[in-house]
Amino acid sequence: MSGSSDLGVDEREGEGEDDERIDVAPRGDGRPGVLYVVATPIGNLGDMTARAVETLRTCDRVVAEDTRRTRQLLTHFAILRKPISALHAHSDARDVERLAARLEAGESLALATDAGTPVVSDPGDVLVRAAIARGIRVVPIPGASAVLAALVASGLAGERGFRFLGFLPRDGTARRDAIAVACATPEPVILFESPNRTAATLKELADATATRTACVARELTKLHEEIVRGTLATLAADAREWMGEVVIVLGAYAPDTRADAVDDAALEARINEELARGTHAKAVAERLAAWSGRPKRDVYERVISRKKR
């Protein structure tokens, strides 16, 4: 998960370290390098694995989402003067090509994100795909993960696996559709969210399925770690200001199968409301099936019938 860890970053450090050259001399054996995908702590530096430290120490170059933050991490583990290149949300195809050229020439690169496991809601996936397309070996170096930390602490893991949706779209139809998918998924669902949007997201989730059990985990592994559990309705009603890195876990979806769980009038009113918002018919059916306990097929037929009037 991209985000801050307790590294005390100096904003001046690490600027200009992403060099523009691709004139890498091939190694004598002609073999390509290796791309290591290195998990780093999500807050507590004690979670750094010995294998991750050794990989960062012995690789030819580190590829970082934020070179300044990664330089601080390297310094903490006494890894000095290590070349660093940037790969972030604003990098373009030329940046990826330069790094791929280094791999093809025999360099070993270690990909690291701001915090946690790279590629998970992180721009590093473009380099992983580029390496695979060129037949270059990709080696995962496992470690800290906000996804798994939140899931195991939530008490909502269950036995059916889980669905990870990352960050929801910020607004519009895409956001409404994503909320509907989250609420209709039978397995536990894990979401990343920014602190300033957490309250709004909890409210939207509660509007769709108020009684679903959930958990908000914030500042995981850090000094002010907090794990709040309850129904979506109770979490949405919490007036606190959510701070720090936030992960939301929804418990497994168990629809109310009672025939009288939601009457026809209430269901029709919600259908009208969702259609007035511009929500797609399929998303309306998914969301309201979760809310009402009705079969999704039946709700979808009602939605289509309402749209034809």
In a domain, 133, yes or no: yes
Residue 130 domain flag: yes
Does 88 map to a domain? yes
Who has greater pLDDT, 81 or 265?
Answer: 81
Helices and strands in the chain, H and E counts: 11, 10
Angstrom distance (rounded) from CA 245 to CA 195? 7
Please spell the DSSP secondary structure of 224-291, one letter per residue.
T-EEEEEEHHHHHH------SSEEEEEPPP-----TTSS-HHHHHHHHHHHHHTT--HHHHHHHHHHH
Cross-strand pairs, 230: 214
Domain boundary among 144, 172, 196: 144
Stated pTM of the model: 0.76
Domain boundary among 126, 144, 162: 144
pLDDT reported for residue 253: 80
CA-CA distances (angstroms) from residue 241 to 219, 237, 246? Answer: 13, 12, 12
What are the backbone dihedrals phi and psi of residue 190, each rounded to the nearest 5 degrees, phi first?
A: -120, 130
Residue 24: pLDDT over 80: no
- For the domain that residue 229 is a member of, what is the CATH number? 3.30.950.10
CA proximity to 167, closest of 143, 212, 198 = 198
Reported confidence tier of residue 254, pLDDT bands at 50, 70, 90 = low
Provide the percentage of residues in the chain whose pLDDT is more than 70.
Answer: 88
Are both 178 and 195 inside the same structural domain? yes
Tell me, yes or no, whether 20 lies in a domain: no
Q: How far apart are the first and last CA of the chain?
A: 46
Say whether pLDDT at 23 is over 50: no
Give the model's pLDDT for residue 53.
Answer: 97
- Count of CB atoms within 10 A of residue 133's CB? 9
Residues 124-156: tens digit of each pLDDT = 899 999 999 999 999 999 999 999 999 999 999
Which residues span the domain enclosing 240? 147-250
Please indicate, yes or no, whether residues 176 and 239 belong to a single structural domain of this protein: yes
**The most confident of 149-153, 157-161, 206-210, by mean pLDDT:** 149-153
**Mean pLDDT comparison of 14-18, 73-77, 252-256, highest-scoring range:** 73-77
Q: Are residues 229 and 186 in the same domain?
A: yes
- State both tokens at 276: 């007035």
CA dist 242 and 197 (Å) reads: 9
Residue 284's pLDDT is 84
Distances, alpha carbon 215 to alpha carbons 40, 120, 171, 227, in Å:
24, 20, 23, 7
Q: Based on the domain organization, do 216 and 301 belong to the same domain?
A: no
Looking at residue 256, its pLDDT comes to 54
Average pLDDT over residues 87-113: 94
pLDDT in the model for residue 108: 97
